Structure 1
């Protein structure tokens, strides 16, 4: 990957729907050269997917919570991983070093839905020993790609 590839990625991060023609003007390359570079970035899994950023509040998803989770025994880790990933409320799940085993970023409509998630889904997973939930009041910065 060189500086031209980095410039192409910057354009795509700002607008994943940018055409090769649009990008070629910004990086001073021909359209076929840009298309070829994008294809190679996709094949190398540098570009994993194209997506859209949705306004969560306009979709009725107004409550963002960070949930720290501890698992009781290492034998239950794989079961936790398999159980937590399918939940649509879970936007992110990170295995952590430190006081907690996992950190979840959870998006729900309201406190009632958060309570249901915690009580009926998260705590029903075998091995979940404890959790600590923090409510996000506002988001000052959120980047999807660096």
Structure 2
């Protein structure tokens, strides 16, 4: 599906908050029905997924960390990514190119929580050859 300028305007408005269709329609000078149809098309096609996001800046003693991992055998890359995605605290897993095979985003309770994730959760996934962790200090514009 190709997104047109109107699709991007709707997505941009929704990026900041859960805005009623009537407000979007007013801002874009369209009918509420037209907005509802566009949103349905975006959702049905899989382009837009509506989910609740966690804002770690608001939560006390919570931080986002990225764990870069290499998989021992590349033939197990997708299997390991899916397995890791099911672990507690994992927000997302991305298969990547370059130095690492996977980038794992986790929400943890401080540094101790990251250590616990690495030693008690990720270590149970057989076939992970190495990891490197990065603490995210502040994030901006995470999603398009």
Q: Which category of TM-score, normalised to the shorter sequence, fits these structures? A: 0.7 to 0.9
Q: Which residue of 1 aligns with 2:8?
A: 6
Q: Distance in 2 between matches of 1:27 and 1:84?
A: 41
Deviation at 1:23, TM superposition (A): 0.9
Q: Distance in 1 between matches of 2:60 and 2:32?
A: 40
Going from structure 1 to structure 2, the CA distance change for 1:30 and 1:63 (only over 3 Å counts) comes to closer
Q: Distance in 2 between matches of 1:71 and 1:32?
A: 48
Please, what TM-score do these two structures have when normalized by structure 1? 0.82
User: Which structure 1 residue ranges, 5 or more long, are not aligned?
Assistant: none
Deviation at 1:2, TM superposition (A): 2.9
Q: Deviations over 1:33-64 (max 9, x none)?
A: 22222222222222222x33433244335232
Alignment root-mean-square deviation, CA: 2.0
Runs (4+) of structure 1 exceeding 6 A deviation are none
Which entry has the higher C-alpha Rg, 1 or 2?
1
Q: Deviations over 1:4-25 (max 9, x none)?
A: 222222211222x211211111
User: Which structure 2 residue ranges, 5 or more long, are not aligned?
Assistant: none
Deviation at 1:112, TM superposition (A): 1.9
Please, what TM-score do these two structures have when normalized by structure 2? 0.83
Q: Distance in 2 between matches of 1:61 and 1:29?
A: 44
Q: In the comparison of the two structures, how many residue pairs are matched?
A: 142
Q: Distance in 1 between matches of 2:34 and 2:107?
A: 40
Deviation at 1:90, TM superposition (A): 1.5
Q: Which residue of 2 aligns with 1:120?
A: 120
Q: Which residue of 1 aligns with 2:24?
A: 23
Going from structure 1 to structure 2, the CA distance change for 1:20 and 1:75 (only over 3 Å counts) comes to closer
